[in-house]
Amino acid sequence: MRQDAASEALADLNAGNLRFCAGHAEGPRRDAERRRAVAAKQSPKAAVLTCSDSRVVPELLFDQGLGDLFVVRTAGHVLDRGAVGSLEYALEHLQIPLVLILGHSCCGAVTSAVAGRPGPGSIDWVMNAIRPSVWATVSAQGDAVENAAREHARRTSSDIARMSALLHEAVERRRLSIVSAYYDLASGSVEFL
Ligand SMILES: [Zn+2]
């Protein structure tokens, strides 16, 4: 049942992304009527964990509207306790069937992690969270930043399960699907990994 809902949500996001790529985005469910309808209660079809990058806007690139997506964003979609707790909230209180982890091309956070530059303040904490994905792809062919970003999107799904017993158990019980994807800034296309 929940897996059907996850598949349906994925198909819907994919269809929205195809419209966005083709320049036929409909901008659905963004009018005053929808705004009033969701003011009292939200029932998002999926949670999206993605980067804070200004060019990666889930509602736009999946052609979704108000109340459709529960979005958690940190630089490089790194997982801290706030991000994990937010996803747990979406599962427990909003019954979302799907968590989509969306990495992207030309990610500044991943680029810095690949370059190995230490950052001031808490920026280094963000870099450290990405570095295992850099190390895992250090000998891979092709573009180092792209390889690390894809790996980081894949790795984040196992990190979620490791960091959250609630989310892990929901996956085991088939109440929740966690899927990774990669967004190309230039083409606008999302590739499910
Ligand atoms: Zn980014």
pLDDT digits (tens, 9 = 90+) for 110-139: 999 999 988 899 999 999 999 999 999 999
Structural domain boundaries enclosing 56: 2-192
**110 CA → ligand 1 middle, Å:** 7
- What residues does 177 pair with on adjacent strands? 98
Ligand 1 centroid to Cα of residue 105, in Å, is 8
Give Dmax (Cα) for the chain. Answer: 53
Total domains present in the chain? 1
Instruction: Please identify which residue in the block is written with the tokens 């690390």.
Output: 148
How many Å lie between the centroid of ligand 1 and the Cα of residue 18?
A: 21
Whole-angstrom Cα distance, residue 143 to residue 127?
Answer: 18
Burial of 58 (0-12, 13-18, 19+ CB in 10 A): buried
Please tell me the distance between residue 3's alpha carbon and the centre of ligand 1 in angstroms.
Answer: 29
Q: What percent of the chain has pLDDT above 70?
A: 99
Q: How confident is the model at residue 106 (pLDDT cuts 50, 70, 90)?
A: very high
CA 168 – ligand 1 centroid, Å = 25
State the pLDDT at residue 3.
78
Burial of 79 (0-12, 13-18, 19+ CB in 10 A): buried
> 184 CA distance to ligand 1 centroid (A)?
11
CA of 59 to the centre of ligand 1 (A): 16
pLDDT, average across residues 34-58: 97
**Global model pTM greater than 0.95:** yes
- The CATH number assigned to the domain holding 147 equals 3.40.1050.10
State the distance from the centre of ligand 1 to the C-alpha of 89, rounded, in angstroms: 24
Identify the band that residue 1 occupies on the pLDDT scale cut at 50, 70 and 90.
Answer: low
